[in-house]
Structure 1
Amino acid sequence: MTIPLFDNDVLRTFVAISECGTFTGAAKSVHRTPSALSMQIKQLERILGKKLFIREPRQVRLTSDGEALLDYSRRLLRLNEEAVRYFLSPSLEGKIGIGTSDDVGTRILPKVLAEFSRAYPAVTINVVVGSSKDNLARLDAGELDLALVTVAEDVRNIRGEVVHEEPLVWAGWENSSAFSRIPLPVAVAHEGCAWRRIALRALEEAGKSYRIAYTCEHCSGQEAAMAADLAIAPFPKSIVRAPLKEITGWDLPTIGMYQLALARRGANELNDILAHHVKKAFRELQ
């Protein structure tokens, strides 16, 4: 029996519906009618013999089979785009620098850089890991072309375009007891860090007694403090994995959201292309 092949157009529709949560919203993004999208999905479900969406009055949710197909769809579409770009994109040469902190940015960048390098092998990429404050200074000095910087959700004048948002939570080591001590020992970065500002403000507003037990600009340093049971720390929820754990209760206040923004120095073809890859990678995290 001949195995049917996926149609990229149908996969784009499927991904759009998955990301929007409604046929109406997805229809606007792919410039088609909701009924046309519905027909595509019904045909796809017939081909696979699987139900991909749970249809509710105001939204749709992925089934377990739909979740599996979403991962395949994104990879297939990405590979198709890379293949087309390899043959059709103009040959680019040059150097580009991007700065990031060592949290979510460093989990995203390896994938981004691998895709970018395959498509543009003649471009040299320089990656600088440092604080948002330092990387913005490097950007302004012309040492970097792009920078992923951390900002608090209440900051009005954000440098760049917000590409990611998620909650900060209290994290500690497995079997840690630091969270039960009075005053609460916390590990944070130095002054100017958005995580530090948000976390300490939450503690102060809640009237929670605390002391800064450890300071370090890097997540690895804060993890070391937690491993030694010296402190707990504010961390993005997505990077709290064993042997770390999220700490709840013990009168710990909700910290709040933080954002990553992509700041750029001028506009040129190289900057535009790398920025596109970065933004796409963060979209696929959602």
Structure 2
Amino acid sequence: MEINKTIELPYAFFITRGRMDLQLLETFLDLAETKNFTMTAKRLKKSQAAISLQINRLEELLGKFLFDRDNRNVNLSQDGEVLVSYAKQILNMHQELLYRFSALPIEGTVTIGATENFCATELPEILSLFTKQYPKIILKAYSDSAKNLKTLFEKEGVEMIIFEQLSSNPIAESIPLKEESLVWIKGKDFHVDFSKPIPIILGPEGCTYREKTIEALDDAKIPYRIIFSSASQTGRLSAVKTGLGISILPTSQLKKEFEVLEQAPLPKLPKLQISMLKSKKISLAQEALSDHIFMQFQG
């Protein structure tokens, strides 16, 4: 059972308790996500000593230990878990306030790329809300595979991308939006014959879901054949629904016409992280969009 740890505080603390640098919360959230001082220091472009100093300062201000540390691990304490929710709300409201009361309306053009799965689900509504709030910002949105989007981003063809990557090995500069659990799916009336190569339905080359499906089956030494491949999620799901083969899907996108396959010998699938990368050439328009997207995922 975890012991609730409290820090002994000087009297002067209680006089200044209400004053807090928001950068402390930003550093805290990043460390809570990476669980690694070195990675957080790299992402925030600060020294490890500076990160440690900020975390210590925040713990002193709140009078609680926020992390349980040892030589190898950095994990949130019980109080740290509570602070995560508050910190996200405070930073989101602070950013929204700044934009809402800015002296001049924000103008400019932002190019954003996203994977097809995201374009077919959350992105349209998120962008629609954004254009109503920032009518003077011109958006240009593109859909492609995660591999192609990262190449385009590196060549500065887009200012921002939203893509899937392994939760266990994220790109250091990426901003996590949400985590997805993947499951095997089939049509309600389709019977999978595991004595034969399994018919699978996949996205195109460069699609993260395609790569992870093939990796999982190869690692488990399960024979398969690619019976249908399409860049269209609608097309892939239609093929699954009609019983052409099986595929994988995030649990958040499950529909009643599909059945989850959990039986052996199908292997367990890795968790994926929906992430955002944004250009280092920051503009007010780009910052407004990236903050808007982040806030939509924080609920």
TM over 0.5: yes
Output the CA distance in 2 between the equivalents of 1:179 and 1:199. Answer: 18
Match of 1:125 in 2: 139
Match of 2:219 in 1: 205
Match of 1:135 in 2: 149
Residue 276 (str. 1) matches residue 288 (str. 2) = no
Output the CA distance in 2 between the equivalents of 1:26 and 1:153. Answer: 19
Please list every run of 5 or more consecutive structure 2 residues that lacks an aligned counterpart in the other structure.
Answer: 1-75
In structure 2, the residue corresponding to 1:134 is in which secondary structure? helix
Residue 24 (str. 1) matches residue 79 (str. 2) = yes
Match of 2:266 in 1: 252
TM-score, length basis structure 2? 0.63
Match of 2:179 in 1: 165
Output the CA distance in 1 between the equivalents of 2:77 and 2:172. Answer: 30
One-letter code of the match for 2:298?
Answer: R
One-letter code of the match for 2:174?
Answer: G
Deviation for aligned residue 1:275: 0.8
**1:238 to 1:156, Cα distance in 2 relative to 1, 3 A:** closer
In structure 1, the residue corresponding to 2:271 is in which secondary structure? strand
Residue 176 (str. 1) matches residue 190 (str. 2) = yes
Residue 100 (str. 1) matches residue 94 (str. 2) = no
Q: How does 1:1-286 map to 2 (within 5 A)?
A: 24-25=79-80, 28=83, 85-88=99-102, 90-155=104-169, 157=171, 160-178=174-192, 182-266=196-280, 267-284=282-299
Output the CA distance in 1 between the equivalents of 2:208 and 2:223. Answer: 20
In structure 1, the residue corresponding to 2:149 is in which secondary structure? helix
TM-score, length basis structure 1? 0.66
Give yes or no for contact 1:99–1:127 (8 Å, CA) kept in 2: yes
Output the CA distance in 1 between the equivalents of 2:139 and 2:259. Answer: 35
**1:201 to 1:238, Cα distance in 2 relative to 1, 3 A:** same
Give yes or no for contact 2:187–2:259 (8 Å, CA) kept in 1: yes
**1:142 to 1:208, Cα distance in 2 relative to 1, 3 A:** same
Deviation for aligned residue 1:219: 1.6
Give yes or no for contact 1:213–1:230 (8 Å, CA) kept in 2: yes
One-letter code of the match for 2:226?
Answer: I
Greater alpha carbon shift after TM alignment, 91-100 vs 183-192? 183-192
Of all paired residues, the percent bearing the same amino acid is 20
In structure 2, the residue corresponding to 1:256 is in which secondary structure? coil
Output the CA distance in 1 between the equivalents of 2:222 and 2:274. Answer: 27
Give yes or no for contact 1:173–1:229 (8 Å, CA) kept in 2: yes
Output the CA distance in 1 between the equivalents of 2:174 and 2:297. Answer: 15
In structure 1, the residue corresponding to 2:116 is in which secondary structure? coil
Output the CA distance in 1 between the equivalents of 2:142 and 2:195. Answer: 37
Runs of 4+ in 1 over 6 A off after TM superposition: 78-84
In structure 2, the residue corresponding to 1:190 is in which secondary structure? coil
Output the CA distance in 2 between the equivalents of 1:237 and 1:206. Answer: 22
Greater alpha carbon shift after TM alignment, 82-91 vs 121-130? 82-91
**1:89 to 1:24, Cα distance in 2 relative to 1, 3 A:** farther
Please list every run of 5 or more consecutive structure 1 residues that lacks an aligned counterpart in the other structure.
Answer: 1-20, 33-77
Deviation for aligned residue 1:87: 4.5
**1:83 to 1:283, Cα distance in 2 relative to 1, 3 A:** closer
